[in-house]
Amino acid sequence: MKKKDIIVQKYGGTSVATTKRIKEVAERVIYTKKAGNDVVVVVSAPGDTTDELIALAKKITDNPIERELDMLLATGEQQSIALLAIAINALGYKAISFTGSQVGIITDKIHTKARIIKIDGKKIEKALKLGKIVIVAGFQGMNTKEDITTLGRGGSDLTAVALAAELKAKICELYKDVEGIYTTNPNIVPKARKLPKISYDEMLEMASLGAQVVNGRSIEFAKKYNVPIYVRSSFNEKTGTLITGEEKNMMEKLLISGVTLDKDEAKLTILGVPDTPGVAAKVFRSIADRHVNVDMIIQDVSEKGITNISCTVDKVDLKKTLIALGRIKSEIGATGIIADENIAKVSVIGVGMLSHPGVAASMFEILAEKKINIEMISTSEIKISCIIEKKDAEKAVQAIHRKFNLDKQKGSKL
């Protein structure tokens, strides 16, 4: 017998927020099964469950111990998988659910933002062979001490992509409350256009810059193992966006694929540090030791051997970062530390952007025209980001989107 294609489907929290929606997901899963595929489903915690559980823990203490927070949070997805399995079985199809621990999703020991080390697909393959639909709890795994861990923001997408890689799935479908990837946020720019296809690299920049449809870690993983991702709506049958390897033909036509906005970062500036070797290393080692990811880093031009170092971090990590920096402040001879949560990051993304040097200039021009001050700039091969004041965020996105003609079907031109 020919081996069936495996399709991994992931449904987010809004898709399983009520029993009615869970039944709808069950029908969609069965539809895919009936089409002749083996189906593995990954689900998030229902609705706002995760936030509610965090709020409960915070009612006990401001700093809940992270091992136990993971133990608490993991119950959300466990409820979803059980309810979905109940719904599918009630419709006459065999489904079996597994927690992250049960299915052998092994992670490192960093609670609340663990990284997947390996997945043992045997249990899933065995169940698929028996004709069962397999349902796996997203967002969670266990470390080698058998403690439950959680994967952090976007963790359920990551679970789905990692399973798809391990099981050599034909495709990883991510069902979202949006219809796909847009050139920018349609709430800010009503003319934003849905992209039929986008490369991993472009998507990586989109994701890490706050497009927030698919988390960056999931895209990295998909790129590494070449897992095609199809992002689509869980509420209608419209076509979505395929995220896949670059195809020259398509990609070269597109200069800019999107404009993104991120309001979840905070800016930190360490003032008056000596411009000597090792200072930056000390600063960012001290932050890394607290498992905080730094996004942008800027070091000012040194004056009289003294300089300022600025960086951005996730707002939720600001407190931790300030504590880390506070500890090393006198050691590195800094004169002060400033934190600013009142910022936004606006970025343009596009493969091959660097072969068109005018992109950066166009972006800065349009911001200047709108009298929006640029506080920090950072560039990569396929994106340009500017930190601006939060109050200007939406105005900047709208202006840049229009400037690059992103509402036109054929892609942008300079």
Q: Cα separation of 322 and 326, whole Å? A: 6
List Cβ neighbours of 24 (8 Å cut-off, separation of 6 or more).
15
| Residue number with CB closer to a copy of itself (16 or 309) | 16
Give the bridge partners for 378, in sequence order.
385
Q: Does 65 bind a copy of itself (CB under 8 A)?
A: yes
Binding residue for a copy of itself, selected from 29, 83, 313, 396, defined by CB under 8 A: 83
Q: Are 412 and 405 in contact (CB under 8 A)?
A: yes
| Residue number with CB closer to a copy of itself (148 or 162) | 148
Q: Does 14 bind a copy of itself (CB under 8 A)?
A: no
- Which amino acid, one-letter code, is at 87? A
Q: Are 227 and 164 in contact (CB under 8 A)?
A: yes
Binding residue for a copy of itself, selected from 14, 75, 293, 299, defined by CB under 8 A: 75
Pattern of binders to a copy of itself over 25-54, x per CB under 8 A? ----------------------------x-
Where in 327-366 is the site for a copy of itself (CB under 8 A)? Answer: none
| Residue number with CB closer to a copy of itself (109 or 408) | 109
List Cβ neighbours of 153 (8 Å cut-off, separation of 6 or more).
113, 215
DSSP E strands, 76-120? 95-98, 105-107, 116-119
Q: Are 404 and 266 in contact (CB under 8 A)?
A: no
- SS3 state at 162: helix
DSSP E strands, 238-316? 241-244, 258-262, 265-274, 294-299, 306-314
Binding residue for a copy of itself, selected from 25, 85, 174, 206, defined by CB under 8 A: 85
* Token reading at 59: 């009612």
Residue 335 Cβ, how far from a copy of itself at the closest point, in Å? 36
| Residue number with CB closer to a copy of itself (80 or 184) | 80
Q: Does 71 bind a copy of itself (CB under 8 A)?
A: yes
Residue 94 Cβ, how far from a copy of itself at the closest point, in Å? 9
Binding segment toward a copy of itself, per CB under 8 A, in 79-87, 239-247, 269-277, 319-327: 79-87
Q: Does 86 bind a copy of itself (CB under 8 A)?
A: yes
Where in 87-106 is the site for a copy of itself (CB under 8 A)? Answer: 87, 89-90, 95-97, 99, 101-102
Per-position DSSP letters for 321-375, written without gaps between them: HHHHHHHHHHHHT--EEEEE--EEEEEEE-TTGGGSTHHHHHHHHHHHHTTPPEE
Angle at the Cα of 396 from the Cα atoms of 393 and 400, rounded to 5 degrees:
145
Report the candidate in 287, 333, 327 with the shortest Cα–Cα distance to residue 308. 333
* Token reading at 315: 């707002």
Where in 139-178 is the site for a copy of itself (CB under 8 A)? Answer: 146, 148
| Residue number with CB closer to a copy of itself (73 or 254) | 73
Q: Does 405 bind a copy of itself (CB under 8 A)?
A: no
Q: Are 100 and 142 in contact (CB under 8 A)?
A: yes
Q: Does 64 bind a copy of itself (CB under 8 A)?
A: yes
Rounded to 10 deg, the angle between the 216-225 and 155-166 helix axes is 10
Q: Does 294 bind a copy of itself (CB under 8 A)?
A: no
Binding residue for a copy of itself, selected from 1, 2, 61, 289, defined by CB under 8 A: 61
| Residue number with CB closer to a copy of itself (102 or 405) | 102
Q: Cα separation of 216 and 317, whole Å? A: 18
Q: Does 130 bind a copy of itself (CB under 8 A)?
A: no
Binding residue for a copy of itself, selected from 1, 60, 281, 301, defined by CB under 8 A: 60
Site residues (vs a copy of itself, CB under 8 A): 19, 22-23, 53, 56-57, 59-61, 63-65, 67-69, 71-72, 74-75, 78-79, 81-83, 85-87, 89-90, 95-97, 99, 101-102, 146, 148
